[in-house]
Amino acid sequence: MKISFLLHNAYAIGGTITTTFNLAQALAERHEVEIVSVLRHRELPNFVLDPRVSLRPLVDLRQERDHPLHQRPARVFPRSEYRYGQYSELTDRRIAEALATIEADAVIGTRPGLNVHLAGQAPPHVARVGQEHLTLDNHSPRLRTALRRAYRGLDVLTTVTEADAAAYRRRMRLPGVRVEALPNSVPDPVLPAADGSAKVVVAAGRLVPVKRYDLLVEAFAAVAAEHPDWQLRIYGKGEEQDRLRRLITDLSLWNNVFLMGAAAPMEAEWVKGSIGAATSDFEPFGMTIVEAMRCGLPVVSTDCPHGPAEIIADRVDGRLVPVGDRDALAATLLELVGDDELRRRMSRAAQENARRFAPGPVVEQAERLITEAVSARRAGRRVVRQRQGGTLTARGSAARDTALIAASGALRLVRKGRP
């Protein structure tokens, strides 16, 4: 099969990019795979991409940031979507053109706004697979309304947790759309797993408020007071960096807590630690939790919606603590820091239990979903488009969002309804 991923920006850093690269590379062992990146802002991606996967940008911000069409607001990408400000009439047109001419058997959208494009603009022969990397509850009521209408043009919608899949089935009511949980996968480690002897706690992710690294630093102050030979290393970059640096200084933790900057891949850094930490108020899945566990680190995580509790078996391969509870987090870290045998036992369990997120089982499920969607499209069971004169329209509610009209030899986007 020919499979295309439609991604926001393959040249940035983030969990969706990581999991898209992982899945694309695994599928490339048996299929022809490409990643279509809507935006590009640098020469090479931050993450190494398997040469078997082709990468194609649509808008290069290095040359086109000031393009006249990029100064006009997007009309197809939903206004209520988080990334709306980065989209424009130029991205609308480039995405529409890419989808109209795509040769793939299946296209996989990787965020709500791109799923809207995919559902309403993909050619009739293309199987449309939308991915949800956040959660339904994370979206505003206005965006949920737009998605409820547009997503009826999808064939498959995947979520990263069973809890979110159940929420979509129960609340969105998408007739004819298959909704399944498809967890993110993490490649098999190539380095020896951590042995639990290093006196290091490791955390990784974007330095943004929802990740609550301030809570982790404050909790680690208690660890440093009792075990001054232990360190906390936080990997990532983002808007919270300066505030965290000030917090580290205010707590006199400059010998114990280190902001390490971004690292990709993270495997070489995980194995230098003995405990992983994740302190988010909200975590759709928990990619870094799985990465840490696959490298032999038991993870102490907040029990936030939705992901951590579907990954960590509390007191078996890690620990779950209440969201925002600094004292509980500190006490749990101290428990693992002070008990070498407990740490080693949880390390072994973490490696074993995290194997379910290896590429093999996840890719097998993804292949099955894609293959069945492609077969259904070819059999005409999920064809939602029909040609009327010179206009491609979509049957059902997706038609109210967008249509592609051929005019004067160029593609022009025409709005057919409210978002």
> Does the pLDDT at position 214 exceed 60?
yes
pLDDT band at 400 (very low <50, low <70, confident <90, very high): very low
> Does the pLDDT at position 384 exceed 70?
no
Per-residue pLDDT, averaged over 67-92, amounts to: 97
Q: How far apart are CA 14 and CA 16, in angstroms?
A: 6
Looking at per-residue pLDDT, the higher value among 400 and 75 belongs to 75
pLDDT of 311-333, one tens digit each? Answer: 999 999 999 999 999 999 999 99
pLDDT of 324-366, one tens digit each? Answer: 999 999 999 999 999 999 999 999 999 999 999 988 889 999 9
What is the structure's pLDDT at 164?
95
Q: What are phi and psi of 60, to 5 degrees?
A: -95, 105
Q: How far apart are CA 89 and CA 70, in angstroms?
A: 6
Where does residue 388 rank: exposed (0-12), middle (13-18), buried (19+ CB within 10 A)? exposed
Per-residue pLDDT, averaged over 240-260, amounts to: 98
Per-residue pLDDT, averaged over 35-47, amounts to: 96
What is the structure's pLDDT at 47?
87
pLDDT of 85-123, one tens digit each? Answer: 999 999 999 999 999 999 999 999 999 999 999 999 999
- 7 forms bridges with which residues in the sheet? 37
What the block records as the tokens of 226 is: 């009792």
What mean pLDDT, rounded, does the chain reach? 90
> Does the pLDDT at position 406 exceed 90?
no
What is the structure's pLDDT at 337?
98
pLDDT > 70 in the chain, percent = 91
Question: Count of CB atoms within 10 A of residue 56's CB?
Answer: 12
pLDDT > 90 in the chain, percent = 83
What is the structure's pLDDT at 21?
94
Amino acid, single-letter form, for residue 253: L
Per-residue pLDDT, averaged over 210-236, amounts to: 98
Q: What superfamily in CATH does domain 2-185+360-415 come from?
A: Glycogen Phosphorylase B; (3.40.50.2000)
> Does the pLDDT at position 418 exceed 90?
no
What is the structure's pLDDT at 380?
85
Axis-axis angle for helices 359-378, 15-27 (nearest 10): 70
* Secondary structure of residue 39 in the 3-state scheme: strand
> Does the pLDDT at position 403 exceed 60?
no
> Does the pLDDT at position 35 exceed 90?
yes
pLDDT band at 18 (very low <50, low <70, confident <90, very high): confident
Do residues 290 and 268 lie in contact, with contact meaning Cβ atoms separated by under 8 Å? no
CATH architecture of 200-356: 3-Layer(aba) Sandwich (3.40)
Per-residue pLDDT, averaged over 177-206, amounts to: 94
What is the structure's pLDDT at 13?
83
Whole-angstrom Cα Rg for the chain: 22
> Does the pLDDT at position 397 exceed 60?
no
What is the structure's pLDDT at 14?
81
CA–chain centroid gap for 14, Å, is 7
pLDDT band at 172 (very low <50, low <70, confident <90, very high): very high
pLDDT band at 382 (very low <50, low <70, confident <90, very high): low
What is the structure's pLDDT at 305?
83
- Which residue matches tokens 């089935």? 169
Domain positions in the chain: 2-185+360-415, 200-356
Domains 2-185+360-415 and 200-356 share a fold: yes
pLDDT of 251-289, one tens digit each? Answer: 999 999 999 999 978 999 999 999 999 999 998 888 899
What is the structure's pLDDT at 303?
97
